[in-house]
Amino acid sequence: MTAPNANLFAALRAAFPQDLDAVAVETADPGQPVLTYSWRDLDRATAMMANLLASLKLPAGARIAVQVEKSVEAMLLYLATLRAGYVFLPLNTAYQSAEIEYFIANAEPSVVVCAAKNFGWVSKIAFKAGTKNVFTLNDDRTGSLLERAAHCSDQHTIALKKPDDMAAILYTSGTTGRSKGAMLSHGNLLSNAAMLKDYWGWKPGDVLIHALPIFHVHGLFVALHGALLNGSKMFWLGKFDPKAVIALMPRATVFMGVPTLYVRMLAEPALNRDAVRNMRLFIAGSAPLLIETFTEWQQRTGHTILERYGMSETAMLTSNPYAADARYGGQSERRGGTVGFPLPGVSLRVQDDEGQALPTGEIGGIQVKGPNVFAGYWRMPEKTKEEFTADGWFKTGDVGKVDERGYVTIVGRSKDLIISGGYNVYPAEIEGYINELPGVAESALVGVPHPDFGEVGVAVVTPRPGATPDADAIIAALKSKLANFKIPKRCFVVAELPRNTMGKVQKNLLRDQHKALFT
Ligand code: MCA
Ligand code: AMP
């Protein structure tokens, strides 16, 4: 007997509702015309794009790197890449040329898709790296990708895939050195999506408000797969807008967002019990949800946000319960400040630095195992080895504990990482750029509390002897090199950085010193 097709798209396609003319996606950006796409449109458009990719005669496992503004067509390109059996490589639109150059050189994509306005510099980088095909795709349904796909057939047989075949590469930075590409398989993504469909109680009639970017796990996998696997309609926003999301709520049932989105909606007087009367579930993740936000949301709307925890390397790992969880004595409470229980199929343990398992309630490094955990980093076997224990558990770099009721709490990170508005900023990367600037001896980037983004980066810089580097000039210089969310929100030039007896910079002291800058 032949094995069933493990292509993730095959599972998503099988979940399309019987009525293919029903609305699958409705755009909802304020001030823009409303566009609707039926399930038939999704099927036909992904077939045409998949046929275009197939016509390029790409090698097996070819990477399709995509840096475009969020649009329904960009989402269809992701689905078409799965459908054609290639590997999707999404890139944040904020990345600038030095960042893109690294990703393209490292991943060696066969196809690069970018916005027409960036074609000049992106194609130069891509052609230099040996990429043969560069297409454009704009958020107004124009560009060479769609022009070429328009000539392709709308019939396409979904490419045959095995569970371990790679579906996507998501770049995630390391504590030292450059970004690593986490290789996620069809099996990783489908097992996670299918389990979440069940755990979060997706049901007929659910409607998702999709307001997250689609170049990271949260928007691309958790939200999108959730809706598609349930055959659910999506309201589609190219950019998050708190007023627009609140106005959509009476016609929707599910919303997912990073904490900043909840903070911004709470600032809107229109957010009240009447606005959320039809909503079934609010989910938060990607960064810690402050207990104040959790409580205020409960008071204003009567809804308890369900917080969950995941990573690019693993998709979702833990979640507060949606309903009574029989594995944990039927507990159903969504507890603020915790990230809930390990998801079904996911094993989680807490270890100390010596690799000893820690008892309930004790704080240590969180390690995980499960069908969702990635195979490794693209072309970095050594890095992959470092991140796994000898007995095969993935070291998350998050520090936490499991309480006697089974709830997991994240208390910190052993990795030097700042999460700002749901985006990751790796201090080592930013410090590297600052240290190269004229007049700079060394620098330290620390995360401090911020009312909107949760946490933001602040740079502390020392001058070279005789030099007087200017804080504003440092920020301005970084802006021309790095994605905007990575730019420190403030910069200080000081005589020296605090160090411990081992000579290591004491970032905790700097963090403490600047903790009230924005609050
Ligand atoms: C924008 N800015 C930021 C951020 N976003 N600064 C710090 N952190 C940010 N996240 C700055 C820009 O640099 C700019 O500054 C100014 O804000 C306005 O930029 P704009 O793009 O207009 O901002 P925005 O539209 O208001 O964006 C804020 C946002 C966005 C909507 C919160 O950051 C966002 O969509 N975040 C979600 C990220 C996400 O999906 N993460 C999931 C990762 P200037 O004017 O000075 O240039 S997946 C993940 O983490 C794991 C696996 C998981 O568990 O899900
Ligand atoms: P990424 O590199 O984008 O995959 O980010 C993954 C990291 O985001 C995790 O290792 C955590 O540090 C953090 N994270 C995700 N969800 C949560 C959450 N609910 N609470 C705290 N941290 C989170």
How is residue 264 written in tokens?
A: 């911004």
Mutate to test the pocket of ligand 1, among 184, 286, 313 (most ligand atoms within 8 A of CB): 286
Percentages (nearest 5) of helix, strand, coil residues in the chain:
30, 25, 45
Which of the ligands is closest to the CA of residue 396? 2
Whether residues 73 and 124 share a domain: the answer is yes
CATH of the domain at 23: 3.40.50.12780
For residue 358, how far is the Cα from the chain centroid? 30
Ligand 1 and 310: CB distance under 6 A: yes
| pLDDT tens digits, 420-453 | 999 999 999 999 999 999 999 999 999 999 999 9
| pLDDT tens digits, 47-58 | 999 999 999 999
pLDDT average, residue stretch 165-174: 91
Atom of ligand 1 nearest to the CA of 314: 52
The residues lining ligand 2, judged by C-beta closer than 6 Å to any ligand atom, are: 172, 216-217, 285-288, 307, 309-312, 339, 396-398, 410, 413, 419, 424
Domain end (from 197, 220, 239): 239
Ligand 1 and 212: CB distance under 6 A: yes
pLDDT at position 325? 98
Atom of ligand 2 nearest to the CA of 417: 12
Task: Name 356's Cβ contacts closer than 8 Å, sequence gap at least 6.
Answer: none
Whether residues 146 and 231 share a domain: the answer is yes
Atom of ligand 1 nearest to the CA of 309: 54
Atom of ligand 1 nearest to the CA of 217: 48
Whether residues 119 and 204 share a domain: the answer is yes
How is residue 434 written in tokens?
A: 């600052």
Average pLDDT, whole number, for the chain?
97
The residue type found at 415 is: K
Q: What's the 288 CA to ligand 2 centre distance in angstroms? A: 8
Q: What's the 93 CA to ligand 1 centre distance in angstroms? A: 11
Does position 506 have pLDDT exceeding 70, yes or no? yes
Atom of ligand 1 nearest to the CA of 420: 8
Contact between residue 304 and residue 279 where contact means Cβ atoms under 8 Å apart: no
Atom of ligand 1 nearest to the CA of 310: 54
The residue type found at 47 is: A
- Atom 29, ligand 1: residue with shortest CA distance: 421
pLDDT average, residue stretch 475-490: 97
Whether residues 406 and 434 share a domain: the answer is no
Whether residues 382 and 490 share a domain: the answer is no
Q: What's the 216 CA to ligand 2 centre distance in angstroms? A: 12
- Atom 5, ligand 1: residue with shortest CA distance: 485
Atom of ligand 1 nearest to the CA of 219: 40
**Domain-embedded: residue 367:** yes
Whether residues 77 and 177 share a domain: the answer is yes
CATH of the domain at 423: 3.30.300.30
Q: Give all strands (DSSP E) within 28-74, no chain letters.
A: 36-38, 63-67
CATH of the domain at 401: 2.30.38.10
Confidence of residue 464 (pLDDT cuts 50, 70, 90): very high
Does position 174 have pLDDT exceeding 70, yes or no? no
**Backbone Cα Rg of the chain:** 23
Task: Name 430's Cβ contacts closer than 8 Å, sequence gap at least 6.
Answer: 443, 445, 457, 459, 478, 482, 486, 488
**281 phi and psi angles, rounded to 5 deg:** -155, 130
Confidence of residue 1 (pLDDT cuts 50, 70, 90): low
Atom of ligand 1 nearest to the CA of 424: 50
Domain end (from 393, 413, 433): 413
- Atom 7, ligand 2: residue with shortest CA distance: 311
Q: How far apart are CA 210 and CA 223, in angstroms?
A: 7
**Domain-embedded: residue 265:** no
**Domain-embedded: residue 74:** yes
**Domain-embedded: residue 295:** no
Ligand 1 and 421: CB distance under 6 A: yes
**Domain-embedded: residue 137:** yes
- Atom 2, ligand 1: residue with shortest CA distance: 485
For residue 196, how far is the Cα from the chain centroid? 16
Whether residues 408 and 435 share a domain: the answer is no
Whether residues 439 and 477 share a domain: the answer is yes
Number of domains observed in the structure of the chain: 3
Whether residues 216 and 343 share a domain: the answer is no
Confidence of residue 3 (pLDDT cuts 50, 70, 90): confident
- Atom 23, ligand 2: residue with shortest CA distance: 287
High-pLDDT (> 90) share of the chain, %:
97
Contact between residue 373 and residue 312 where contact means Cβ atoms under 8 Å apart: no
Identify which of 266, 273, 274 has the alpha carbon closest to the alpha carbon of residue 293: 266
Q: What's the 95 CA to ligand 1 centre distance in angstroms? A: 12
Residue 455 CB coordination number (10 Å): 19
- Atom 30, ligand 1: residue with shortest CA distance: 421
Confidence of residue 237 (pLDDT cuts 50, 70, 90): very high
Confidence of residue 310 (pLDDT cuts 50, 70, 90): very high
Does position 176 have pLDDT exceeding 70, yes or no? no
Ligand 1 and 484: CB distance under 6 A: yes
**Domain-embedded: residue 456:** yes
Confidence of residue 173 (pLDDT cuts 50, 70, 90): confident
**Domain-embedded: residue 493:** yes
**Domain-embedded: residue 65:** yes
pTM of the model: 0.97
Sheet holding 490-493, edge to edge: 440-450, 454-463, 490-493
Whether residues 502 and 481 share a domain: the answer is yes
How is residue 145 written in tokens?
A: 């990708």
Whether residues 400 and 470 share a domain: the answer is no
Q: What domain range includes position 50?
A: 8-239
pLDDT at position 175? 57
Q: What's the 324 CA to ligand 1 centre distance in angstroms? A: 34
Q: What's the 373 CA to ligand 2 centre distance in angstroms? A: 15
Atom of ligand 1 nearest to the CA of 94: 21
Mutate to test the pocket of ligand 2, among 419, 429, 486 (most ligand atoms within 8 A of CB): 419
Whether residues 365 and 470 share a domain: the answer is no
Bridge pairing between strands 111-114 and 63-67: parallel
CA distances from 407 to 265, 318, 327, 399, 434 (A): 27, 9, 12, 14, 40
Confidence of residue 178 (pLDDT cuts 50, 70, 90): confident
Domain end (from 390, 413, 436): 413
pLDDT at position 494? 98
